[in-house]
Amino acid sequence: RSSDVKKVADLKRISGEAEDVKRSTGVRDEKLLEVVGWPVEELAQVSTILAAVADVEARLKEAQACVHSDDDKLMCVHVMEALLQSWRCLVQVDKQVKDAKKAGGTAVNAAIDVPVRFAIVAPLCDALMDKA
């Protein structure tokens, strides 16, 4: 049901199942999928959300590695810039999802957990600043 809040793990499962169906049927044409009732717009939103979350998670790993390494200070600055850029994209995706829901349009009811993720990103940025 679209009113159920989907966690990121749920979105990954849904996306994987959708790809399995597309692969098994051999139908990849988005217009044809839309004609038969395939939730093209919602799956596109799921993809966007998952890409933004995956990018932040990848940048977090890079930042953690940088904090615990002997990398030069400039490298830490670049890593922090990449993390902040990725974070900004995730926040924008979260806002787009919320705005779409408010407007009554098609929107995935996703729990991106921005405040929880911020509690991880902020101290890591502090640690990168200290190192730089």
Taking only the tens place, the pLDDT of each residue in 32-84 is 677 667 787 888 888 999 999 999 999 999 999 999 888 688 888 999 999 99
Strand partners of residue 91 = none
How would DSSP label each residue in 80-105?
HHHHHHHHHHHHHHHHHHHHHHHTTS
Cβ contacts of residue 7 below 8 Å, gap of 6+?
110, 111, 113
pTM, rounded to two decimals: 0.81
Q: Which residues lie below 8 Å from residue 36, measured CB to CB, with a gap of 6+?
A: none
Confidence of residue 120 (pLDDT cuts 50, 70, 90): very high
Contacts of 60 (CB under 8 A, 6+ apart): 83, 120, 121, 124
Q: What is the pLDDT of residue 106?
A: 66
What per-residue confidence (pLDDT) applies to 97? 85
pLDDT in tens, 1-43: 445 778 888 888 888 888 887 788 787 777 667 766 778 788 8
